[in-house]
Structure 1
Amino acid sequence: MFKNAKKLFAQVFMVLLAASFLTWGANSYFVNTPKSIAIEVNGEKVSVSELQTEYNFRLKEAEKQFGGKLSQEFLNAMQLGNTTVNRLITSKLALDEAHSLGFRASPVGLRAQIVNNPAFHDENGNFNKEVFRASVSNYGFSTPGYEKVLKEEAVKQNLYNIFNTNINQDDYLVKLFKHINADMTIRSLMVNESHIGDIPAITPAEVKSYYDSNSHRFTAEETRNFTTLAVRADKLKDRVTVTEAEAKEVYDNNPEAFASEEERQARHILVSSEDEAMDIINQLDKGADFATLAKEKSTDTFTKNKGGDLGFFVYADMVEAFSDAAFNLEVGAISEPIKSPFGYHVIQVTEIQAEKPQTFNEVKNSIIADLKLERSEDVYYDMLDQVEDKIAAGQKLETIAKELNLISNKYTEVKRINSNVTFATDVLPVVFDLNEGQVSDPILVEGQDTVTVFAELNKLNAERTLSIDEAREQIISEITDAKKQKMVADKAQELLIERQNKNSLSKVAAAHNMSSDLFETAGIKRNATGAPAWLKQMHINLLFAMKEGQALSSLVSTPDGMALVELVKIEDKNPDETELNIFKSQMSNAWQEDLFAQYMLYKRNQASITINESSIKAALGSAYVSQ
């Protein structure tokens, strides 16, 4: 009963606690009880427990925003710990100020906010205390704690509303709207190496001079020569014997375990919305052909041309929602719309193959294979012991491999990053920490429970400076690139001077047969939206300050060469009534936030604030920088 409610509560909860300044201090009422003190604001204490809870909440929000786990270096750069501390301080100040101004929350209003929240409703759409309790508990709240959070957020919202600013200067807003939303069109003449002549031949003297000036840059990276020995359970199966009698004994002890799973054959029509799915169901109820509708309507490109047929599958083959529906349908029946991560399914089961016992002969080979794998794990651990004993006795890995009939590999001049080394991700970091002649401890391969690798460093090839002959090819390439870039820049500079005389890139392009290299780009905004990637913000600012027909006085670097850029036109966008009202609301909100932030800064400067740096540092580590 709580499954959907929890999901909906999560969405509502995130909006409540992450979308505005009201999140500050919300975690004060999580279930954990504080002990040591992290912050004290005008005598009110914030515990380390509260701080950690708030930090963890903000960390999860950041990971959700950036799409996954964040490195410690990234978190340090974000100064997430400092942000958390400052928000908690601001929260306490805002609540104190709101109380001092006499702001209170209406118990009736708060109760209505809870009762009317869909996240706390049962399947019939009615408020349910058990759903409410389970939902808030799932996010670490007690029900009184959650109610107290709502109360304090309402009080702080009253303070925030003081700074609401209604802007009625429509003339000013129209000018500001037009300024922000202006569209710029530019014309660019692209100059690249196709516009220059042959590169002058590079002389031996140039090569030597370049090498002498840059020899420190021409280095051979440190490499390692090493041997690896891998012990793998899957390679030891052939050393294990399993008789048919042993397999028969396993079968006889539990024949039910070898029964085949129930399989179902079904077809489906996948669409993007529930309304589309209901429309298809209505058509099927009126006698429409399922296969025809699948070909016409389904977005599943793998099955639509087969009438939606999925073939036979067991329960675990499909996502849970799909299997739940398919394994509860009778043959020929049509499902209700079934939502999955792929969209909405209309499902029809066409055949059922019930679970049935399998004879010993049908499963004999799989039992023998399983027993071999199981016993090979015993051999695997015994083999590990033997390898480690021989390493301890001073034997080389290559010798050990021959004695135990294991596989070893020799690698030479391997760099730190090399995908040709087996299990490189796990092995290479260890190899580059070894001394010559040293054998590693057992290296566990991630994701492989029964694979262990040993590595022995045979030779360390230190980083060195390349000779001029070794670096010659790279030197010639770099000199050639530098000459090309200079020739392109010189050509572009000539065209720029010519453009200043002719007052038009079109005329310059035509005079040099470069019209195909002339491009117009429209719809460029002041914030660089719509601009080519090579056009930087400083160039955009300069162009917006120009008159039509003027050009940038300097060249702009592009990935392929240089560009000459001139302004074609700037078009103001007059807002309609709806756009103006939206813009007015946005500006009011922005000014409100700014005024509130300035006021809170003023209150902070007047407040008595104690920050326990050592406790915070112990709790948050490098994510917090001492203030």
Structure 2
Amino acid sequence: MFDAVRNNKKIVQVFLALITLPFVFFGVESYVRSVGTGDDVAKVGDIKITQQQFQQAMREQQERLRVQLGGQLDPKLLDTPEARQAVLDDLISQRLLVLEASKKGMFASDDAVRRTIGSIDAFKVDGKFSSERYEAALRGQGMNPAGFEAQLRQDLTLQQLAGVIGQSGLVARTVTERLLALQSEKRDVMEYRISLDSYLDKVKLADDAVKKFYEENAKQFELPEQAKVEYVVLSMETIGTQLAVTDAEIKAWYDGHKERYQQAEERRASHILVASEKLGKDKAKAKAEGLLKEVVKNPSLFAELAKKNSDDPGSAEKGGDLGFFGRGMMVKSFEDAAYKLKDGEISGVVESDFGFHIIKLTGIHAAKEKPLAEVRSEIEAELKKAGASRKFAEAAESFSNTVYEQADSLKPVADKFKLTVKQSGWIGRQANPANGPLANEKLLAALFSEDSIKNKRNSEAVEIAPNTLVAARIVEYKAASLQPIDGVKASIETMLRRKEAHALALKDGEARLEVLKKGEDKLAWGAAKSVSRLDASMIPPLAVSAVFKLDAAKLPAYTGVELPGAGFALFKLVKVGVGEKIDDARQQGMQRQLGQLYMQEEIQVYLAALRSRYKVDINKAALEAARDR
């Protein structure tokens, strides 16, 4: 079917989610023929993982986390041996799967690649595939069609492998029924709070308690060193805004690259598919020939016949309509037949890998060339980007030299590159994402160095992001200091009193719980609250587990939990009931969730088996060296 590539989508999503990093777009060639050196980070079978590939994976992981965290990412999160090893493990897993898929002879066909590309919304204009949009989208990501299609072919191949592994992710209905029953079980509980505030009057602190705590925990009351800094940022983006592109340059580019602005002929067709796998080849062909006779006899019934008879669910409900498509987007036999038809004409029976088609051509978009006016802004942006890239490469060294050679001020470098000298508020030595360009460990280390603090010289130019350099200097500095005891005395006393009161509340709560368990209940309980594992918002989160651990065989039952910073809470279980009826949709949803969990376990076992089957060598020295590049 034309929607076949989307089959087993859930299985594929789970499978690929376990391989955390997206495949680096080096194309298939670099996976199977990487030219390795003694500096390679690892080798999986005969496939090498180069330092370049590892560093690219680290950058992609950092960028992905930065986006997920809304830009608030401390770079130190990934600058650990554990984080680097995790990224390397993902790369190793990818290579293992590539080797295994190759060994099993799995390979995605050209047709599968074409159909997948044609289904991606980012490559469509007005609902139809656009080769111009496709190429522009790839250029925006620094890719080309050959590399993207090679990578897509590899991903589709691994989806085939995912389908094989996913066959075992099946869960018995009885298991899901039991879990859903536990989830929806209702428990009615009463609560009795023992607030630490009730014990504050009973707390008596020693005369020297505050002073003793202050002296023993002096580090808690240290004010870290801080500085106000001025800084300049040189980026490719900034340089781009300073560039001007002339009409002549735009026209010259357009004239020299007209092939990029050719819109190939596209055709719109409807079809009726009789699948071979459903009836067998002979019966399918006979059925298609019978339908063709009906269509030829009354062409106006084509859409109705497609709805009733087509085995392509993606188009049948639309009367067989496939929309517009260009060459290379359909299987060859279908495409050849469609491109031979005149508008409104109906084909004979056409055979493909999917079965037998009857095709009706319903529209033609003739090939045309986009006028310069339509693509002018696109060309201007591309020329500016290319120019900015060249200019930045040229400017980076000069920027660094100027910052170093005229180290007493940032004004010379700002004037030279038409930059603005910006001022910060008070910042500390630790990276804080709120400080924007100054939230860089390397830059902060340079700023808070002894020489920088003493002489207030410019820092070196530091690359804080791809194509972005920053230089800074301290203009005002405050050394670390200890807050005087008079300024923190009240807060220390409050903290110590609450700590002692909490201990008294905890002791009293535990004693009362023991009395309750002996059958003596004289407490003024609150009103009963009905809670379930799915909805327990009416009681403290820490109490949920304790309440559902209670034995419901003999009621009432009692439990208690400590509430950090608040005191203690006692709970009385008075009733256990069955939750709402579980419908089929929820049952199926739970089966899918459990199936995915089981499948995750299967994949981890599968990957472990692959690691024992293929030789994996890790170059620890090269892995550490990759960090410093």
Paired AA for residue 620 in structure 2: E
Distance in 2 (alpha carbons) for counterparts of 1:548 and 1:531: 21
Whichever residue aligns with residue 109 of structure 1, its letter is A
What is the DSSP-based 3-state SS (H/G/I as helix, E as strand, rest coil) of the residue aligned with 2:558?
coil
Give the aligned residue type for 1:604. Answer: R
Aligned to 1:133: 135
CA-to-partner distance for each residue in 1:341-387, whole Å, 9 max, x for gaps? Answer: xxxxxxxxxxxxxxxxxxxxxxxxxxxxxxxxxxxxxxxxxxxx9x9
SS in 2 for 1:141: coil
Q: 1:566 aligns with which of 572, 587, 599?
A: 572
Equivalent position of 2:207 in the other structure: 207
CA distance in 2, matches of 1:158, 1:224: 56
Cα–Cα, structure 1 residues 176 and 480, in superposed 2: closer, same or farther, change >3 Å?
Answer: closer
CA–CA separation in structure 2 for the residues paired with 1:23 and 1:85? 10
Shift of 1:216: 2.4
Partner of 1:89: 92
Number of the residue aligned with 2:25: 27
The answer to whether structure 1 residue 192 and structure 2 residue 207 are counterparts is: no
Displacement of 1:116 after TM fit?
3.0
Query: Secondary structure of the equivalent of 2:49?
Result: strand
Equivalent-residue separation in structure 1 for 2:576 and 2:80 (angstroms): 39
Secondary structure of 1:559's aligned partner? coil
> Structure 1 pair 96/585, CA: closer, same or farther in 2 (3 Å)?
same
Contact 1:30–1:142 (Cα < 8 Å) also in 2? no
2:618 maps to 611
Cα offset, 1:65, TM superposition:
1.6
Separation (CA, whole Å) in 1 of partners of 2:58 and 2:459: 35
Q: Give the SS at the match of 1:566.
A: strand
Query: Given the alignment of the two structures, is residue 523 of structure 1 paired with residue 567 of structure 2, yes or no?
Result: no
> Per-residue CA shift, 1:166-185, capped at 9, x if unaligned?
63632232112223454544
What amino acid does structure 2 have at the position aligned with 1:523? V
Q: In the alignment, what sits opposite 2:78?
A: 75
C-alpha change, 1:532 and 1:171, in structure 2 (3 Å) is same
Aligned match of 1:118: 121
**How far is 1:560 from its partner?**
2.3
Where 2:170 maps in the other structure, the secondary structure is coil
Count, aligned residues: 397
Distance 1:545 1:77 in 2: 48
Which residue of 2 is the match for residue 550 of structure 1? 557
Compute the displacement of 1:602 (Å).
0.8
- Report the secondary structure of 1:105's partner residue: coil
Q: Deviation digits for residues 456-475 of structure 1, max 9, x if unmatched?
A: 88xx8975996xx9997677
Alignment map for 1:169-184 (pairs within 5 Å): 169-184=172-187
1:217 aligns with 2:217: yes
The yes-or-no answer on 1:144 pairing with 2:146 is yes
How far, CA to CA, are the matches of 2:229 and 2:73 in structure 1?
34
User: Which letter maps to 2:607?
Assistant: M
Letter in 2 for 1:562: F
Question: CA 1:209 to 1:591, structure 2 compared with 1: closer, same or farther past 3 Å?
Answer: closer
Structure 1 position 122, deviation (Å): 2.8
Task: Give a deviation string over 1:207-264, Cα, whole Å, max 9, x none.
Answer: 147756874236895679999999xxxxxxxxxxxxxxxxxxxxxxxxxxxxxxxxxx
Offset of 1:191 from its aligned partner? 1.1
How far apart, CA to CA, are the structure 1 residues paired with 2:588 and 2:79?
40
Asked whether the equivalents of residues 24 and 88 of structure 1 are also in contact (C-alpha less than 8 Å), the reply is no
Cα distance, 1:42 vs. partner? 0.8
Amino acid at match of 2:164: I
Gaps of 5+ in 1: 1-14, 231-384, 389-414, 418-424, 510-514, 623-627
- Matched residues in 1 for 2:606 and 2:197: separation? 60
CA RMSD of aligned residues (A): 5.0
Q: Percent same amino acid at aligned positions?
A: 15
Paired residue type of 1:589:
Q
Question: Is residue 105–residue 151 contact of structure 1 (8 Å, CA) maintained in 2?
Answer: yes
Matched letter for residue 489 of structure 1: L
Residue 442 of structure 1 and its aligned partner are, at CA, apart by 7.6
| CA distances 1:426-479 after superposition (whole Å, capped 9, x unpaired) | 9x99999779x96745899xxxx9x9975588xx8975996xx99976775455
Distance 1:72 1:621, change over 3 A: farther
**Alignment correspondent of 2:391:** none
In 2, Cα distance between the equivalents of 1:225 and 1:492? Answer: 44
Distance 1:221 1:137, change over 3 A: same
CA distance in 1, matches of 2:533, 2:500: 36
The one-letter code matched in structure 2 to 1:81 is R
> Conserved in 1, the CA contact under 8 Å of 2:42 and 2:49?
yes
Structure 2, gaps ≥5 residues long: 1-12, 231-405, 410-427, 431-437, 461-469
Q: Is the CA contact (8 Å cut-off) linking 1:443 and 1:454 kept in structure 2?
A: no
Cα distance between partner residues in 2 of 1:214 and 1:59: 40
- Corresponding residue of 1:45: 48
In 1: Cα distance, 2:18 partner to 2:150 partner: 18
The equivalent position to 2:506 in structure 1, one of 489, 501, 509, is 489
2:47 aligned partner, one-letter code: E
The answer to whether the aligner puts 1:508 opposite 2:523 as a matched pair is yes
Cα deviation for residue 581 of structure 1 reads 1.6
Query: Is 1:29–1:148's contact at 8 Å kept on the other side of the alignment?
Result: yes
TM-score by length of 2: 0.51
How far residue 589 of structure 1 moved from its aligned partner, in angstroms, is 2.5
Counterpart-to-counterpart distance in 2, 1:494 and 1:58: 52
State the alpha-carbon separation in 2 of the partners of residues 147 and 189 from structure 1: 64
Deviation at 1:620, TM superposition (A): 3.4
Paired with 1:431 and 1:582, the residues of 2 have a C-alpha distance of 54
Instruction: Write the distance in 2 (CA, Å) between the matches of 1:474 and 1:52.
Output: 47
Q: Is the 8 A contact 2:456 2:475 kept in 1?
A: yes
5 Å-filtered alignment, 1:454-473, equals: 454-455=475-476, 463=482
Taking structure 1 as the reference length, what is the TM-score of the superposition?
0.51
The whole-number CA distance in structure 2 between the counterparts of 1:597 and 1:100 is 19
**What SS does structure 2 have at the residue aligned with 1:112?**
helix
Give a deviation string over 1:524-571, Cα, whole Å, max 9, x none. Answer: 427x9637455167635634788652112x542343222112334444
CA distance in 1: counterparts of 2:213 and 2:67, whole angstroms: 49
- Correspondence list, 1:280-319, <5 A: none
Q: Which residue of 1 aligns with 2:604?
A: 597
Q: Distance in 1 between matches of 2:226 and 2:500?
A: 42
Distance in 2, Cα, partners of 1:592 & 1:137: 36
Query: Structure 1 pair 223/523, CA: closer, same or farther in 2 (3 Å)?
Result: closer
Shift of 1:77: 5.9
